[in-house]
Chain A
């Protein structure tokens, strides 16, 4: 296969970059390990930020974003993000996104944590779903080619330039090549390393980050993983922040409130985590208007019933914080380009330095659209000056063949659970040197024994165990980089909270950047 621009992933950032890239008159392919519209984007409930209201201003949006970032975001990038926000909403509206409206026909906005004003445009609690599907419809309109069920193996470079990527065709376990002039990695985040303690889709395994890193890309701020304060206790299913935005309380066993529910996510998560040492923690929505819940939180109502057997208009909802969002990612510049020529990145897997140490709710959907447009322009203008190169499947194929030869009795799923528990406990909301080191040692041990985690299923046809094993390899690799980054940052800042270094330290007011095993 050969395309001017190869986009890996099919969530909102991938789809929007495909649409804008197509406008540049180039050939574009989307390659995804799932089917499109199944991406993590579909799970985003709360909303997408833009200063549209009478009292709200772009300056305030910038201010809230910077404040939430704990001085770690790049001010210029944040300015650009917030300034572009109203236009992004206008564009989404123009392609048919069904935003909720006010009685006088404006796009409705609600207040999320850390925001001074109601700033999040929403479509009930289906904001991500409706944006994703509308983008998908436009991708169909533009007749953009989509390749499903292909798992990213390697990003291929030649003389420091990207020339394409190899994929495992999940249908037959064969390696396929896509030759491209520029490549956009839009594969989503990595919070599923926390497994059952994560709100994320099963697919958020950091595949794109690892492939980019192995190709020589710089990863940055990996230690910053946002914990969402309110996930259902048993299943880590997300209860949207809009529930607290609308006046929901956090209460303990005695029904007493113990924190300000509308503080930024990192602070609320910590308050809950501390409280959980003393008692169970619940989200209390009983005092909210029933009609409002049915209108604005229909998903929550359904999910609480299904998973906890709770009528949230009548009962308390048991919750815990769960790993939710990867602030760190593949480092990119203002053109969304990595340190590798022709390799671009966008979405949760990328780090545009706009979230810093803590992402503001409602800014993630926003970045998918704003930087989706930017990355398309950057990748297109780069691609126009390049020629196609041929690439082969040999190395990637050897890797797959080797995995089929693994022998040993360690159960993959037990190992996944082990890493998930280890991460939640040792690399979670509260961290300290000894526990991080313990996690690192354990991960190294797992890394050294990966060949003992053998496939039970050696078939070639849609072998999901093979894909899950490859994902696990990626997670183990990335997990070690996360722990190394967390060890390196000897301070507390936003989502990265060190029990042994409680204060923010100016010395660390810069991104943690890792490149080929060394910190820059």
Chain B
């Protein structure tokens, strides 16, 4: 099996797509990367951790689509492996996720105030179950066309995380205020994030839910207001 890997080592001014032969039988892309590192070129850099799709370390672009290397089953030749997009490149397949991580902080995605009287039922727990499956792998940021052009955009996983807390019955102070600028209204609802999520989360759907929640709380789409000047109040 052959793999093409986008290599980048700044201090060596090395920036090229290299083809590697993987002679050993491997199941996942991560195993192939490990094989290459261990037998062909130890300078190849990529992240990994759990090998079981929960630590979120190993997301890369495979044939143009963000995916977890540990969950990607290798089938045929001609796989092109590149680092995630929309994040600063550190080396080879390793990107700097600092800024992406910061978005959950900017979105204040946490429980603000506990409603002590509330009791969560089995049904309530299902409301934000899938959102709490997020592993922060960054695949959705790589796929997001808005994050690509606006680095201040809160982005898919932060907004999903916000919805997780906003939807939580234990939350007595749902925080949607911080999501109005560079947040829920900036999303184009293109659904690219949903298509790449290894946990089958739809940030797009979560953003839509945050929009209706915001509307109910008296917020409105500022773009709409800007385009149609002042009419938003008549709704």
Do A and B pair up? The answer is: yes
**Interchain CB contact under 8 A, B94 and A459:** no
Chain B residues within 8 Å of A299, by CB: 52-54
Q: For the complex, is B111 an interface residue (Cβ under 8 Å from A)? A: yes
Chain B residues within 8 Å of A456, by CB: 41-43
**Interchain CB contact under 8 A, A201 and B55:** yes
**Interchain CB contact under 8 A, A38 and B11:** no
Residue of B nearest to A148 (CB): B98
Q: For the complex, is B132 an interface residue (Cβ under 8 Å from A)? A: yes
Q: For the complex, is A171 an interface residue (Cβ under 8 Å from B)? A: yes
Chain B residues within 8 Å of A306, by CB: 27-28, 71, 73
**Interchain CB contact under 8 A, B50 and A307:** no
**Interchain CB contact under 8 A, A140 and B110:** yes
Chain B residues within 8 Å of A22, by CB: none
Residue of A nearest to B122 (CB): A101
**B2-39 to A contact mask, C-beta < 8 Å, 1/0:** 00000001111000000000000001100000000111
CA separation between A465 and B40, bound complex, in Å?
A: 13
Partner of B55, one of A42, A102, A137, A148: A42
Interface of chain A: mostly helix, strand, loop or mixed: loop
* Chain A 1-43 residues near chain B, CB threshold 8 A: 34-40, 42-43
CA separation between A113 and B65, bound complex, in Å?
A: 41
Given contacts A38-B55, A171-B90, contact A102 B49 (CB under 8 A): no
* Chain B 29-86 residues near chain A, CB threshold 8 A: 37-39, 41-43, 45, 48-57, 71, 73
* Chain B 77-135 residues near chain A, CB threshold 8 A: 90-91, 94, 97-98, 101, 104-105, 108-112, 114, 119-122, 124-125, 128-129, 132-135
Q: For the complex, is B168 an interface residue (Cβ under 8 Å from A)? A: yes
**Interchain CB contact under 8 A, A303 and B120:** no
Q: Give the segment of A69-77, A92-100, A347-355, A431-439 that binds chain B.
A: A92-100
CA separation between A462 and B90, bound complex, in Å?
A: 7
CA separation between A247 and B128, bound complex, in Å?
A: 28
CA separation between A413 and B102, bound complex, in Å?
A: 35
**Interchain CB contact under 8 A, A43 and B122:** no
Partner of B110, one of A94, A130, A138: A138
Chain A residues within 8 Å of B164, by CB: 98
**Interchain CB contact under 8 A, A235 and B170:** no
Looking at the assembled complex, report how far the CB atom of A14 sits from the nearest CB atom of chain B, in whole angstroms: 15
**Interchain CB contact under 8 A, A42 and B54:** yes
Chain A residues within 8 Å of B168, by CB: 96, 98
**Interchain CB contact under 8 A, A34 and B49:** yes
Chain B residues within 8 Å of A414, by CB: 38
Looking at the assembled complex, report how far the CB atom of A450 sits from the nearest CB atom of chain B, in whole angstroms: 16
Interface of chain B: mostly helix, strand, loop or mixed: loop
Partner of A462, one of B48, B94, B121: B94
Kindly state the interface size class of chain B when it binds its partner. 35 or more
Q: For the complex, is A123 an interface residue (Cβ under 8 Å from B)? A: yes
CA separation between A124 and B130, bound complex, in Å?
A: 11
**B136-162 to A contact mask, C-beta < 8 Å, 1/0:** 100000000000000000000000010
Chain B residues within 8 Å of A35, by CB: 57, 97, 101
**Interchain CB contact under 8 A, B9 and A459:** yes
**Interchain CB contact under 8 A, A42 and B125:** no
**Interchain CB contact under 8 A, A413 and B38:** yes
**Interchain CB contact under 8 A, B53 and A460:** no
In this complex, the member of A38, A123, A171 whose beta carbon has the largest number of chain B beta carbons within 10 angstroms is: A38
Interface size on A, residues (CB 8 A): 62
In this complex, the member of A124, A203, A412, A462 whose beta carbon has the largest number of chain B beta carbons within 10 angstroms is: A462
**Interchain CB contact under 8 A, A238 and B52:** yes
Q: For the complex, is B163 an interface residue (Cβ under 8 Å from A)? A: no
**Interchain CB contact under 8 A, A105 and B120:** yes
Q: For the complex, is A457 an interface residue (Cβ under 8 Å from B)? A: yes
Chain B residues within 8 Å of A171, by CB: 90
Q: For the complex, is A126 an interface residue (Cβ under 8 Å from B)? A: yes
Looking at the assembled complex, report how far the CB atom of A32 sits from the nearest CB atom of chain B, in whole angstroms: 12
CA separation between A129 and B43, bound complex, in Å?
A: 31
Chain A residues within 8 Å of B49, by CB: 34, 38, 42, 201-203
Partner of B165, one of A96, A102, A104, A126: A96
Given contacts A100-B125, A101-B124, A456-B42, contact A39 B55 (CB under 8 A): yes
**Interchain CB contact under 8 A, B132 and A42:** no
**Interchain CB contact under 8 A, B111 and A137:** yes
**Interchain CB contact under 8 A, A133 and B136:** yes
Partner of B108, one of A101, A141, A459: A141
Residue of B nearest to A128 (CB): B54
Chain A residues within 8 Å of B43, by CB: 456-457, 459, 463, 465
Chain A residues within 8 Å of B38, by CB: 411, 413-414
Q: For the complex, is A464 an interface residue (Cβ under 8 Å from B)? A: yes
Chain B residues within 8 Å of A465, by CB: 42-43
Chain A residues within 8 Å of B132, by CB: 98, 123, 126, 130, 133-134
Residue of A nearest to B161 (CB): A137
Given contacts A43-B54, A98-B129, contact A462 B45 (CB under 8 A): yes
Looking at the assembled complex, report how far the CB atom of A478 sits from the nearest CB atom of chain B, in whole angstroms: 20
Q: For the complex, is A461 an interface residue (Cβ under 8 Å from B)? A: yes
Chain A residues within 8 Å of B104, by CB: 137, 140
**Interchain CB contact under 8 A, B9 and A461:** yes
Q: For the complex, is A237 an interface residue (Cβ under 8 Å from B)? A: yes
11 contacts between A and B (CB under 8 A): A35-B97, A43-B52, A99-B125, A126-B133, A148-B98, A171-B90, A201-B51, A237-B51, A413-B42, A456-B43, A459-B12
Q: Using A35-B57, A108-B122 as known contacts, list a sample of 8 further A-B pairs with CB atoms less than 8 Å apart, ordered by residue number in A.
A: A43-B52, A105-B120, A105-B121, A133-B136, A140-B105, A201-B55, A203-B49, A413-B42
Nearest 4 pairs between A and B by C-beta? A457-B43, A413-B38, A96-B111, A137-B110
